[in-house]
Each structure stands twice: as C-alpha cells, then as structure tokens.
Amino acid sequence: MKVAVVGAGWAGLSAATRLADSGADVAVFDMAPQPGGRARSVAGDPPYDNGQHILIGAYRDSLALMQRLGVDVNAVLLRAPLALPYPGEPGLQLPPGPPLLAFTRGVLAHRGWPLPARLRLLMAATGWLVRGFRCAPGENVAHLCSGLPRVVLQDLIEPLCVAALNTPAAEASAEVFLRVLKDALFSGAGSADLLLPRRPLSELLATPAHAWLGPRLQLGRRVQRIEPEWQVDGEAFDAVVLACSSVEAARLTADIAPDWAHTAQQLPFQPIVTVYLQSPGSRLAAPMLALREGPDAPAQFVFDHGQLGGAAGRFAFVVSGAADWVARGDAGQAVLAQALRELAWASPPVLDRVLTEKRATFACTPGLQRPAAHIRPGLWAAGDYVAGPYPATLEGAVRAGAAAAQGVLAQGAAKGSPTNTP
Ligand SMILES: Cc1cc2nc3c(=O)[nH]c(=O)nc-3n(C[C@H](O)[C@H](O)[C@H](O)COP(=O)(O)OP(=O)(O)OC[C@H]3O[C@@H](n4cnc5c(N)ncnc54)[C@H](O)[C@@H]3O)c2cc1C
C-alpha cells in the first residue's frame, strides 16, 4: 500500500510509524521546515519549546511510540508523583503507589486544606467513581464541581482543568475532564505521575522520528490539493491520512467531503501563551510550581529549566486558556509583574521571549461536535481534534494517528493489499 500522511506533528508521526511498521510505503509531507508541529523546539541556545509541555504517566501510547523510535524515555523525561506545590506552600502531593490509593492518602495528608474540604473532595471523587466517571455531555466542570469548597476549586480543579483541557472550568467539558481523571487514576501504577521534558521538545519525538523515517519525510511541502481516489498534488496513493491542522484539513476536504469539512471548520480554539523569563542564579523550590491565576496574574504554572537539565536561569510561565490575555496583548508584562510579586529571585528577572499560539488547542467545551476519523474510504483524519475521549493533547494526537493508520490498514487488508496488518 502506498499511503500519504499530510502533516508531521505527533499525530502524523504516529500514523507514519504504524503504517511503515506494517509494511506500507509511506510518504509524509509537512509544510514546516521541521517536524513536530505544535510540539516542537524553536530556535535558541539551547532551543526553546514552542510552549512548555507536560506529559502524565497515563500517556501510554506516546511513551510506547517514543520507545519504538529509540528514545530513552527515562533520560528525556523527569518522572515524579503528581505534586502541585505553590510558592511557599507544599500543596497537594501524591505519595508513590497505586494512583487511587495515592490520591486518597495525598488528599488526607494535605494539611493546607481544612479537613472538611479534604473529605468533601474525597466524597465527590467517590461519587464520580461510582458513576463510572460519566456525566451528561452538556455539563461543564464548574457545575460538576460546584459542591466543592473554594480552596479545592482554586488549588486543584481549576489548574488541572486548564492544564489538561486548555479551557477554563466554567466553559470546559465535564465529560472530557472526568475521562482525564479516570485515566490518571485507573491506568495502572504511575499513571498520575507528571513527566516533565528534560530535553528540548523536538528531541522527545520529532527529531528521532525524522531520523527513523529518513527520506520518507518531506519537509517544506505544503499539500495544496487532494483528489479522489487518491491524488495528493497529482501523485497517486492508495490512501491518505490528513494529520494537518483542522483548518487545513477542512480546506483540503471542502469539495470531497463538505459535511466533514464544515464540522472541522467550526471548531473553536483557545490560545496558550508561554512567557520565558531570564534570571541568572535563581532557582525555584521545585522544577514546577503552580501559581494562582487572577485578574493581574495570567500564569497558572512556572517551570525552572535549570532544574530540568536545560538552560540555568530560564523560567517558562504558562498561560493556558489565554483568550482574554491575547485580547489584552500584555501577557508578557503581566507575567513579569506576577513573577516579581509571587517568587523570590537571585537577580531581577527580565522578559526573554513571549510565544503566543493563538490556535494552541480546540476549546474543549461541553457537547462539542468533533469531526470523525474516517472521512471517506481511503481518506482518514488524524489529529488531536478528531472525535475521541481526550482533550487536545500529545496522547490524543498519538492515539488518533495510530487509529487512522489502523483504519487504513484494515481497509487495505479488506481490499487485499500486501501489508502486515497488526
Ligand atoms: C503552547 C502549547 C502547549 C501545549 N501543552 C501541552 C501539554 O502540556 N501537554 C499535552 O499533552 N499537550 C499540550 N499541547 C497540545 C499538543 O501540542 C497538541 O495536542 C499536539 O502537538 C497536536 O499534534 P497534531 O499532530 O494533532 O497537530 P500539529 O502538531 O498541529 O501538527 C500538524 C502538522 O501539519 C502540518 N501541516 C498543516 N497543514 C499542512 C499542509 N497543507 N501540508 C503539509 N503539512 C501541513 C503542520 O506544519 C504541522 O506540523 C500544547 C500545545 C501548545 C500549542
């Protein structure tokens, strides 16, 4: 089978690896000069990440793909039990061990919250468990958690929601949030662990995948046109996986599958702003600290790259669900002021870089209609936005890529193409 993969983000690289492993003749096209899509490094010494990324232990397919491509995941990721320390406060810390037990023990031991607040959280979590982590599709996270004390909402639910769904709790899908919690608490030992990149983002997947794919990956190639069945800019293929952005996928399918294109075109987006500060000689109390967001405080998290094996004195502040800050246009200065107010510095921090991704992820709102993976026979979509249980994450992208590859291979097998369908 000759298969075209359009886009070399994590979804496209996942699809291409699966297809190539199954004996397909794969060609991957990406319009950018480097692979990795949104999860890539950008120029700097050492390189910056195009947005600080966090993985969790439940990202099983992403970790398996990295290993398949020869990446030593223990070397490139710092793994630690989930902890949400705030400046000057230890915050919630889960002990090692089975995630559900660790969650219960961690919450009970968290003396920063009054005992009734801890018990209310455990009772709410038990209710979610009993209901199978399901709720009405139209429910939002703020409503789901409306019975919880303010301190739990502010210190746990709101930061977790905006980190995982890139959507504020009042607008975020409770169904997807519960799915993330379920996977973090029920995917086996270590599934709730935080995995922080110790190397520039491209080294996690994009660069090793490029080396593995070799000339099968063509960069600087923006696919202009797809015609049934199937031509990619005039070259014939047996199948196509669209692993580009939803906007580009909608453009490429507008004539071929107008309904699908319309759904993809309608997806709303949320920005993320990553603000890098420099402060030589400074060090945070932990590699990652949570921060309290507010009207003058945009960032929800800060990462100390010196403690993560990167540039000493470089600090990445993350502003997720950043639509209001992008509209205001002063996220960088506001983060600098927040940093000066909330953290101790060995030398005055200075604004280094502000990276704004206006379409960082789709806005994960209740009942959102997402386009299906299967568009037409021989034409599949892969990407973090494709219909599925996950929010827009690396794991969602990798799973979507694998699912599209699987779909292509199954259709190929049904038509008798000589691939090794796993
Ligand atoms: C700032 C930021 C922070 C994030 N933080 C996290 C996090 O902490 N944890 C997490 O799990 N996720 C995080 N994400 C989300 C994660 O990065 C994405 O979910 C994931 O990278 C999406 O991968 P993808 O392959 O679906 O899409 P993309 O990465 O967007 O890949 C699409 C590719 O298609 C290419 N392309 C587009 N059109 C064409 C065309 N016509 N022809 C050829 N190529 C084309 C593009 O150049 C691009 O390389 C973050 C995202 C951002 C932006």
Nearest-CA residue for ligand 1 atom 32 is 244
> What per-residue confidence (pLDDT) applies to 416?
72
Q: Of the residues 28, 38, 233, 244, which should be mutated to test ligand 1's pocket, given the most ligand atoms within 8 Å of the CB?
A: 38
Q: What is the Cα–Cα distance from 177 to 263, expressed in whole angstroms?
A: 22
- Amino acid in the structure at residue 61: D
> What per-residue confidence (pLDDT) applies to 189?
85
Beta bridge partners of 219: 30
Q: Between the CA of residue 252 and those of 66, 203, 220, 233, 382, what are the distances in Å?
A: 29, 30, 17, 11, 14
Q: Of the residues 50, 394, 395, 398, which should be mutated to test ligand 1's pocket, given the most ligand atoms within 8 Å of the CB?
A: 394
| pLDDT tens digits, one per residue of 180-237 | 999 988 788 889 999 999 999 999 999 999 999 999 999 999 999 999 999 999 999 9
- Amino acid in the structure at residue 85: P
Nearest-atom number in ligand 1 for the CA of 359 is 53
Q: What is the Cα–Cα distance from 176 to 173, expressed in whole angstroms?
A: 5
Tell me which residues of the chain have a pLDDT lower than 70.
Answer: 417-422
> What per-residue confidence (pLDDT) applies to 187?
80
CATH number corresponding to 2-74+201-267+367-415: 3.50.50.60
Do residues 388 and 400 make contact, with C-beta atoms less than 8 angstroms apart? yes
* Residue 221 CA neighbour count, 13 Å, CB half: 19
Nearest-CA residue for ligand 1 atom 20 is 394
> What per-residue confidence (pLDDT) applies to 418?
52
Do residues 4 and 225 make contact, with C-beta atoms less than 8 angstroms apart? no
Do residues 27 and 215 make contact, with C-beta atoms less than 8 angstroms apart? no
> What per-residue confidence (pLDDT) applies to 421?
45
Q: What is the Cα–Cα distance from 134 to 258, expressed in whole angstroms?
A: 32
Q: Is 394 in the pocket of ligand 1 (CB under 6 A)?
A: yes
| pLDDT tens digits, one per residue of 363-394 | 999 999 999 999 999 999 999 999 999 999 99
